[in-house]
Structure 1
Amino acid sequence: MVGAHARLATMNDPGPKTQQRPTGAAPTATSGDSAGLGRVARGGAVNMAGAVCGAALNVGLVVVVAHMFPQETAGVFFSATSVFLIVLAVANLGTSNGLVYFIARLRALGAGGQSLGVLRLALRPVVAVALLVGAALALLAEPLAGLLGSQDAAAYLQVLAIFLPFAVYADAALAATRGFNDMRATVVLDKVARPAAQLALLGALAVWGGAGLLTVAWVGPYLPVAILAWWWLRRVLRVAEREETAPLPVGPKVVDARTFWAFALPRSVASIAQIGIQRSGIVLVAVLQGAAEAAVFTAATRFMVVGQFATQAIQFAVQPRLAELLAIRDHKGAATLYQAGTAWLVCLTWPLYLPVIVYAPLLLHLFGADYAAGAGVLVVVSAAMLASSACGMGDLALTMAGRTGWNLFNNILALVVSVVVCVVLIPWIGAVGAALAWAAAVLVRNLLPLAQLHRSLGLQPLSRAWLVAVGACLVWFGLVPLGANAVLGAGAGSLAVAMLVGGAGYAATLWRLRSVLALEGLLHRRPTAR
């Protein structure tokens, strides 16, 4: 393991300085944009378009299930799909992060020809493991259903197990395309096509009946997405091969299986812990309070998922560029990108979470009158997400710096905190206890990276842009909704006025301060050195 980490460290060495970029390396930004903010901003805009669609589709999916099926059925379905997503994180083995990390770094170091080899050593093992884990999930479906409090969950889990290998392959293949700075595949297939197909199939079941096919409708689209992801990745590789003309380098830049898995496996366990933090609350509420309470908790946390789509949109765009900058030890550029990315996160997510806190009871009526009891959950979760966005992308920065061991420790500790607080509070205050547990875990996994990044790389998220973003959001989506709520009440008309006035003022503010927020790259394509 020590040798593997040594090989990882040598990949940070850019070698002798030269004025000519190695053939096949990733394009480097001009000196006027050393962090590549323009390129990242445009990639973030593409991802954001997909995130908006994906968020709307995912909320629509929960609304359909909550409205059209009994609360007990909805709770069992949400619990079973949460188990599937946790198992998906287990079977992924960290390959998604590993592929983005190594492909982006190899291209930055002029060794892009090794990317195909990295794909081979990653995809074959992960598909084999996914088959084994899927079989285990099918065999353990009945005991797991007993824990969830409903034997109906066994059939759900067995269906989900069949499609697990396709979901794992799709995640890995789409991550590889992002390593080549192609964001379109993830947006089109994962953010739009798959949730759209899920919503259409679930809507059809709601109209024509057939609650037993709920999981088939939800998980079935993973199969065509996996096939299309394979096809898209082949196209990306063909383009990359035409651009790669230099001979493959040898020596410290070579990525072998030991080096890859030394990076990926700790990240795999961290990802399991991370998805466990997000989904264990649903499962534990189902175990300790019943499926109906789990359905309420799931509905109340859907607005958190909307914000996570926006966060993921920025992270997917920042991830390959941050890996490139850290590969060539451009810490100044990495710091600029990290701070700009944090400001963008605040700009995108705070306008959602602030009004949600003010109008929580109203918004939960989208899922039905029985779900309004989750208002307390929604307020706690939204407040935690405000803090998370303000802290920036600590997990991502640690991972792209190769500190997967630190990332693992942070996420394991956060998961332990989440489970302990859940066990203590859920029997006492129900779903609100799960929300407080999740908030405590979020604080742990965001505050620890702040100290670790500052100490090891000198990275920290605060900047003038951060202050501007926070101030603009507090004025237009904090004070304006509070005023509208006080004057017009907590109804739909009040929310509409608050969003119209706040949105107009916010858009004008962002336009006026676009230079401070590094948003000009969205409007003007900057030349790149070649």
Structure 2
Amino acid sequence: MTLTAPARPTPASTDHRAGLARGGLAGMAAAGFSGAAGVGVTWLVARALGVDQAGAFFAATAGFALAAGVVRLGTQTGLVYWLAQLRVREQTHLLGACLRIGLTPVAVAATVLAAVLWFVAPAPLDSLALFLPLAALSDASLAATRGYRQLAPTFVLERLARPAMQLLAIGALAVAAVSAPGAYAAAWVGPYLPVAILAGYALRRAYLAGPTPPRRPGHRAYLALRARFWRYTGPRSVASVAQLALQRVDVLLVATLGGLRAAAVYAVAGRFVVLGQLANQGISQSVQPRLAEALSAGDRQAANQMYQAATGWLVLVTWPLHLMVITYAPVYLGLFGDEYLAGGPVVVVLASAMLVATGCGMVDMVLSMAGRTRWNLGNVTAALAIMVALDLALIPPFGAVGAAIGLAAAVLVNNIVPLVQVGRALGVHPFGAGTVAAAGLAVACFGVLPQVLAATAGTGPAALLTAVILALAAYVAGVWRMRDTLALDTFR
């Protein structure tokens, strides 16, 4: 991999980075709320239901998310990429055709799979299947709005409104002492209805706010665009399913091979991983359209600066979480109940892998925005195969810990391999001065300092509170001193 020194910012690249900062800040804030709401849902389910019933809930929602990933057909990336490409090339008369090409197959595939699951899936997944078309079209519509550089619908609807409604609905069931997993599953999936309606409205407004097409594309132009769209999106479609399988299929394998109790422990122990993934998505969704435009215009300097700045911010936000849960895993798991304390090794394994993953930044998205969707497909498929093979071998003897080892190995493959690829093929990498500074500061404040305090004062709640206060104070001071290196000046 070729490491290139970051060039001095040009006015154009500075504007890119400033726009990225605005979107990234909003994305991280929305992702923080969504992650906190997700942890709240997990806590309520774990407390309100028994371990076995909680396992059934987690398995059903994981199956629904996996099915939704299948029927999205990769359009979350394809629509952003092609709408950005058409706008940069001033081919605005093809925007409407691009939307029809991307959204129509999603609606058909989601409806067909929902009908199949209604008849063959076990409860409560069969009832969740009715909402599958809503979830798929909601995600695809929000992706299309991002192709217009409109990030607010994604942040407000996907990151704020839906998690808030899920948390409130499940909280109401917990307060009412309802103990049926199906009721909790229905409360979790119900918010997809209003979000889908509002997402469609947001996309319609984005389309109508753009330039009026001077003409409708002819049939030949439409067919040519459709072929190019799916030639790009097809590999990404399979890759997105494999990527989602990396996040969800392990819970299903643990439930099948280790039982619902082990699945509940594994789902709870790994819940913190979602917080890091949401932060990554929050920044990535801000970067996507800008990065696609920069790479389409051949501006590798701007692309490299955006990639490095975004990775530094991602490390700054996520590494404190992963380092703290390594040291204080018993306190974290104890919040959900004593039955989940056995998940301590799971936390350590997954948090260590996530430190590497977030240090690489949104590398798979960089690869996709450069048009290398086939490479992305190969990487994700290899990672998924490794995870499934390790899960099948390790879950029977080791339970949830075996699944954690499988996922950690897959995460490392799915980040290190594309990191080498983007370095060699594109000449970009995430290791700017800001990334190195953020990593060193996080390790010192949330790695070394809490470990010293844990060795002297233990890992109880009081020791955790003391460690958080001291580490946070040192972290804020360090961030302020290195604000220029961390590119935080662009947030102004």
Give the TM-score of the pair, scaled to structure 2. Answer: 0.94
1:363 counterpart residue number: 332
The match for 2:274 is 305
2:196 pairs with 1:196: no
Match of 2:194 in 1: 224
Give the Å deviation of 1:348.
1.2
Q: How many residues align?
A: 481
The answer as to whether partners of 2:331 and 2:461 remain within 8 angstroms in 1 is yes
Contact 2:49 2:179 in 1 (8 A): no
Kindly indicate whether the alpha-carbon contact (under 8 Å) linking 2:97 and 2:222 is maintained by their aligned counterparts in 1: no
Describe how 1:420-439 pairs up with structure 2 within 5 A: 420-439=389-408
Alignment partners' CA distance in 2, 1:436 and 1:46: 33
Please, which moves more after superposition, 247-256 or 314-323? Answer: 247-256
Contact 1:35 1:334 in 2 (8 A): no
- Residue 65 of structure 2 is matched in structure 1 by 85
How far does residue 277 in structure 1 lie from its aligned partner after superposition?
Answer: 1.1
Give CA deviations for 1:207-243 in whole Å, capped at 9, x if unaligned: 22251312111111111100010111122222223xx
**Greater displacement, 464-473 / 429-438:** 464-473
Q: Does 1:287 align with 2:256?
A: yes
CA distance in 1, matches of 2:213, 2:112: 39
- Asked if 1:37 corresponds to 2:37, the answer is no
Residue by residue over 1:330-366, the C-alpha shift from the partner in whole angstroms, topping out at 9 and shown as x without a partner, is 1121111112222121111101100110000110011
Instruction: Report the equivalent of 2:133.
Output: 165
**Residue 139 of structure 1: how far off its partner (Å):** 2.4
**Residue 411 to residue 298, structure 1, CA distance change in 2 (3 Å):** same
Whole-Å separation in 2 of the counterparts to 1:322 and 1:198: 32
C-alpha distance in 2, partners of 1:252/1:166? 30
2:177 is the alignment partner of 1:215? no
The amino acid that maps onto 1:117 is A
Which string of whole-angstrom CA distances, capped at 9 and with x for unpartnered residues, describes residues 134-153 of structure 1?
Answer: 11222221xxxxxxxxxxxx
Matches within 5 A, 1:48-63: 48-63=28-43
- Segments of structure 2 that go 5 or more residues without pairing to the other structure are 1-8
What is the RMSD of the two structures over their aligned residues, measured on CA atoms? 1.9
Shift in Å, 1:33: 2.8
Point out the more displaced range, 213-222 or 496-505. 496-505
Please name the residue that 1:150 is paired with: none
Per-residue Cα deviation, 1:53-108 (whole angstroms, up to 9, x for no partner): 10110000000000011111110110111111111111000011111111122222
What 5-or-longer segments of structure 1 have no aligned partner? 1-28, 142-153, 524-530
- 1:152-192 residue CA offsets vs partner (Å, 9 max, x unmatched): xx221111110000000000011111111211111111111
8 Å CA contact 2:41–2:167 kept in 1: the answer is: yes
Match of 2:5 in 1: none
Provide TM-score, normalisation by structure 1.
0.88
Give percent identity, aligned residues only: 45
> Which segment is superposed worse, 398-407 or 463-472?
463-472
Which deviates further from its counterpart, 289-298 or 210-219?
A: 210-219
Moved more, 372-381 or 115-124: 115-124
**Are 2:269 and 2:347, in contact at CA under 8 Å, matched by a contact in 1?**
yes
Indicate if the aligned counterparts of 1:354 and 1:478 stay in contact, CA closer than 8 A: yes
Amino acid at match of 1:226: A
Q: Is the 8 A contact 1:109 1:328 kept in 2?
A: no
Alignment equivalent of 2:88, drawn from 108, 126, 148: 108
Q: CA deviation digits over 1:117-138, x for unaligned, max 9? A: 2111111111011101111222
Poorly superposed stretches of 4+, deviation over 3 Å: 244-255
CA distance in 2, matches of 1:384, 1:252: 46
Q: Which amino acid aligns with 2:41?
A: L
Cα pair 2:13 2:301 within 8 Å, conserved? no
Give the aligned partner of residue 498 of structure 1.
467
Query: Against the structure 1 CA distance between its residues 246 and 351, is the aligned structure 2 distance closer, same or farther, given a 3 Å change threshold?
Result: farther
- 2:344 partner letter: A
Distance 2:485 2:359 in 1: 17
User: 1:385 maps to what in 2?
Assistant: 354
* SS class of match (2:467): helix
Counterpart-to-counterpart distance in 2, 1:396 and 1:248: 31
Determine the structure 2 residue equivalent to 1:344: 313
- 2:333 pairs with 1:353: no
AA aligned to 1:267 is: R
Tell me by how many angstroms 1:275 deviates: 1.0
- Measure the CA separation in 1 of the matches of 2:463 and 2:15: 42
**In the alignment, is the contact (CA less than 8 A) between 1:86 and 1:275 conserved in 2?**
yes
Task: Check the 8 A contact 2:92/2:213 in 1, yes or no.
Answer: no
Partner of 1:472: 441
Distance in 2 between residues matched to 1:42 and 1:454, nearest whole Å: 27
The answer to whether structure 1 residue 270 and structure 2 residue 239 are counterparts is yes
Name 1:9's counterpart in structure 2.
none
* Residue 472 of structure 2 corresponds to residue 513 of structure 1: no
* Mapped contact 2:280–2:361 kept (Cα < 8 A): no
The structural deviation recorded for 1:32 is 5.5
> Is residue 242–residue 381 contact of structure 2 (8 Å, CA) maintained in 1?
yes
